[in-house]
Amino acid sequence: MANKVVIKTEQLNLWYGEKQVLYDISMEMLSNKITALIGPSGCGKSTLIRCFNRMNDVIPTCRITGHVFFDDNDIYGPDADAVEVRKKIGMVFQKPNPFPKSIYENVAYGPRVSGVNNKDSLDEIVEKSLRDAALWDEVKDRLFESAMGLSGGQQQRLCIARSLSIEPEVILMDEPCSALDPIATAKIEDLMTELKKRYTVIIVTHNMQQAARVSDYAAYMYLGKLIEFGETEQMFEDPHEELTEKYITGRFG
């Protein structure tokens, strides 16, 4: 299967107030692959991933120049609608953030806000999403209990299920395992490999081993600039840039 370009950025610059956070980022991300954004804290990787579904719109002082194309449509173009973009590009956050509602309602929320109100369709979507997120067997008997009672790893898989519920094309994951223990992390990583069969996955991680284990492509960022971008294997075995090599061999950062 040929992989097409799903998300492409061109000369992307971003400022928070006066402070420039991203400099001239140009990169392409392929469908059905996992692309990892790596780099030391504060390098702008989380900011970059939040550009892909316009989550930075929530921050009032944020200003952007350049383009982000999703399936060849500029998501910052004059006709683009952030709400529509986010229906196509889902996101899982660093800290699990289930709503203070029942497990069922958490997953049904996305379809509901997109206008699905039929009980049977909702039931079907909830079950399918939870199965796809490998959570169904653990929660099927307590769907109507509060999501706040789940463990951290379960909450994060619930958030993944929630983002699958509206059938996006891309799933963005912003350090999805940083708040989890190793066992929960392993489950999420397995899940990612499973998910890339049907979705495009972009993940931010500060864990080098995780990037090496799960990703097909890796982008190394430093101080808001894209230093190196290529196949993960090549980048970890024979990086082109000295900065990248220093970082992945642990000599800095």
Partner 1 sequence: MYGAFPLIVGTLLVTLGAMIVAIPLSIGSAIFISEIATPKMKAAIKPAIELLAGIPSVVYGFFGLIVLTTWLRISFNQPSGESWLAGSLLLGIMAIPTITSVAEDAISSVPREFKEGSFALGATRWQTISKVIVPSALSGITAGIILGIGRAIGETMAVMMVCGNPTYGLIPTSITNVFAPIKTLTATLGIEMGEVAAGSNHYHALFGVALLLLIITLAVNIIATVILNRLKEKQRSPSKKKTRLSVSIKQQIRKTLVFTIIILCVVILLSSMGILLTVCIGLVVGAVYYLRKKVSAKTGQRIAFIAIAVAILTVIVILGVILAYIISNGAGALSWEFLSQGSSNLGRSGGIYPAIIGTLYLVSGAIAIALPLGVGAAIYLIEYTREGRLTKIIRAGADLLNGTPSIVFGLFGFAFFVLYLRMGFSLLAGQITIAFMILPTIIRTTEEALKSVPQSLREGSLALGATKWQTIKKVVLPPAAPGILTGAILGIGRAAGETAPIMFTAVVFSSFIPHSFVEPVNALPFHLYILATSIPNSARNQAGTALVLLLLVIGIYLVAVLLRNHYQKTMKW
Applying CB under 8 A, among 109, 134, 179, 246 the residue interacting with partner 1 is 109
Applying CB under 8 A, among 83, 182, 238, 251 the residue interacting with partner 1 is 83
Question: Is 2 a residue that touches partner 1 (CB under 8 A)?
Answer: no
Which is nearer to partner 1, 26 or 118 (by Cβ)? Answer: 118
Applying CB under 8 A, among 38, 133, 159, 219 the residue interacting with partner 1 is 159
Question: Is 162 a residue that touches partner 1 (CB under 8 A)?
Answer: yes
Question: Is 87 a residue that touches partner 1 (CB under 8 A)?
Answer: yes
Binding span for partner 1 by CB under 8 A among 12-20, 63-71, 80-88, 182-190 = 80-88
Tell me, residue by residue from 54 to 73, as one string, x for binding to partner 1 by CB under 8 A and - for no binding. Answer: -x--x-x-------------
Segment 172 to 201, residues that bind partner 1, using CB under 8 A: none
Binding span for partner 1 by CB under 8 A among 82-90, 128-136, 188-196, 240-248 = 82-90
Question: Is 146 a residue that touches partner 1 (CB under 8 A)?
Answer: yes
Question: Is 48 a residue that touches partner 1 (CB under 8 A)?
Answer: no
* Nearest distance, CB of residue 115 and partner 1, angstroms: 7
Question: Is 90 a residue that touches partner 1 (CB under 8 A)?
Answer: yes
Specify whether the CB–CB gap between 227 and 220 falls below 8 A. yes
Please give the C-alpha separations between residue 51 and each of 69, 167, 251, in angstroms, as whole numbers.
Answer: 11, 20, 30
Three-state helix/strand/coil letters over the chain: CCCCEEEEEEEEEEEECCEEEEEEEEEEEECCCEEEEECCCCCCHHHHHHHCCCHHHHCCCEEEEEEEEECCEECCCCCCCHHHHHHHEEEECCCCCCCCCEHHHHHHHHHHHCCCCCHHHHHHHHHHHHHHCCCHHHHHHHCCCEHHHCCHHHHHHHHHHHHHCCCCCEEEEECCCCCCCHHHHHHHHHHHHHHCCCCEEEEECCCHHHHHHHCCEEEEEECCEEEEEEEHHHHHHCCCCHHHHHHHCCCCC
Instruction: List residues binding partner 1 (CB under 8 A).
Output: 53, 55, 58, 60, 83-84, 86-88, 90-91, 93, 95, 97-102, 109-110, 112-115, 117, 145-146, 148-149, 159, 162-163, 165-166
